[in-house]
């Protein structure tokens, strides 16, 4: 079953065509990376799928529903979530509070955000489960603003998971990380795909990350898809090797 179907997608900025007639399908549970140089159209494609931009033409279907031109909040309610390049957390709140706020928002219980209760609720149970998934239970009481960049990225993934996403878009999740944090994120992403029923689209410049976690790789250049296949096939593609992998 296709979770996401993109048909004839075009985005023009004046005379510049950022996305040029893209046709792509993404199956349920599939892990796909989208690569290409700066200006290839990767981020614009993400922005079109998540409603931050409206296409010049073309159609985007998510779980059989036409989401073309919908607002970002309408799309996120359908369980299509995105993690951006820049962290977007409440730095003055704890790890636990950041995730619980998102859980309560999903449950439409935002009135309880500032309510103290001695009794554990279903929202607390959900929050604790997510903390376990992202491996930050021991840091649940730490302020997000005091965390390392790698831990902040994990909290963001936790916030996204609290919305029970069907499709998760990861935009440069290892950006700004050192080798140890990058390795930790790679291990986490692998575990996420194995244990959680979520389809993942990844935009990432680190080719070692891309080839270690992807089932499928889509290569973009000048707004168009020039290659699409499993990692081994992409590695053998001469055009891709010369233009994008530095070989």
In angstroms, what CA-CA distances link 124 with 129, 130, 225? 9, 10, 44
pLDDT value for 14: 94
Task: Pick from 11-25, 97-111, 160-174 the range whose average pLDDT is largest.
Answer: 11-25
User: Which CATH number among 3.40.50.800, 3.40.50.300, 3.40.50.1000, 3.40.50.150 corresponds to the domain 1-79+165-247?
Assistant: 3.40.50.300
Q: Residues 180-215: pLDDT tens digits?
A: 888 888 888 888 877 777 899 999 988 999 999 999
**Helical (H) or strand (E) element with 90:** none
Question: How far apart are the C-alpha atoms of 184 and 83, rounded to whole Å?
Answer: 17
- Retrieve residue 103's tokens: 């859980």
In angstroms, what CA-CA distances link 231 with 49, 135, 244? 24, 28, 13
> 166 falls in which pLDDT band (50, 70, 90)?
very high
pLDDT value for 7: 98
For the segment 136-154, the average pLDDT, to the nearest whole number, is 93
Neighbours of 91 (CB within 10 A): 12
For the segment 37-41, the average pLDDT, to the nearest whole number, is 88
Question: How far apart are the C-alpha atoms of 17 and 24, rounded to whole Å?
Answer: 18
Q: Is the pLDDT of residue 224 over 70?
A: yes
Specify whether the CB–CB gap between 160 and 171 falls below 8 A. no
Question: How far apart are the C-alpha atoms of 59 and 235, rounded to whole Å?
Answer: 30
pLDDT value for 114: 57
Q: Is the pLDDT of residue 4 over 90?
A: yes
- Of 157, 223, 204, nearest to 33 by C-alpha is 204
* CA angle (122 as vertex; 191, 105 as ends), nearest 5: 80
Q: Supply the mean pLDDT for the chain.
A: 89
pLDDT value for 27: 94
Q: Is the pLDDT of residue 218 over 90?
A: yes
Identify each DSSP E strand in the chain by its residue range: 2-13, 16-27, 31-35, 57-62, 65-66, 80-83, 167-171, 199-203, 216-221, 224-229
Q: Residues 74-108: pLDDT tens digits?
A: 999 999 999 876 677 889 999 999 999 989 888 77
For the segment 4-8, the average pLDDT, to the nearest whole number, is 98
* CA angle (166 as vertex; 165, 171 as ends), nearest 5: 70
For the chain, what are the domain ranges? 1-79+165-247, 88-164
pTM score, two decimals? 0.86
For the segment 129-157, the average pLDDT, to the nearest whole number, is 93
pLDDT > 90: what percent of the chain? Answer: 59
- Retrieve residue 108's tokens: 């439409």
Q: Is the pLDDT of residue 228 over 70?
A: yes
């Amino acid at each position: 079953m296709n979770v996401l179907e993109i048909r004839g997608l075009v985005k023009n900025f004046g005379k510049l065509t950022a996305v040029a007639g893209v046709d792509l399908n993404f199956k349920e549970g599939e892990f796909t990376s989208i690569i290409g140089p700066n200006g290839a159209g990767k981020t614009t494609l993400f922005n079109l799928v998540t409603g931050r931009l409206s296409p010049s033409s073309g159609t985007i279907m998510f779980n059989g529903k036409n989401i073309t031109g919908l607002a970002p909040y309408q799309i996120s309610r359908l369980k299509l979530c995105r993690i951006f390049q820049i962290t977007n957390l409440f730095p003055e709140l704890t790890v636990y509070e950041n995730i619980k706020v998102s859980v309560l928002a999903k449950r439409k219980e935002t009135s309880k955000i500032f309510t103290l209760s001695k009794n554990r609720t279903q929202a607390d149970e959900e929050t604790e489960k997510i903390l376990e998934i992202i491996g930050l239970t021991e840091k649940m009481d730490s302020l997000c603003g005091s965390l390392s960049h790698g831990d902040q990225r994990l909290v963001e993934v936790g916030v996204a998971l609290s919305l029970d996403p069907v499709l998760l878009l990861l935009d440069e999740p290892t950006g700004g990380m050192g080798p140890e944090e990058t390795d930790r994120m790679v291990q986490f992403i692998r575990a996420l795909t194995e244990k959680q029923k979520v389809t993942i689209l990844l935009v990432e410049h680190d080719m070692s990350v891309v080839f270690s976690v992807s089932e499928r790789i889509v290569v973009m250049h000048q707004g168009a898809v020039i290659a699409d296949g499993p990692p081994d096939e992409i590695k053998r593609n001469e055009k891709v090797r010369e233009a994008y992998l530095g070989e």
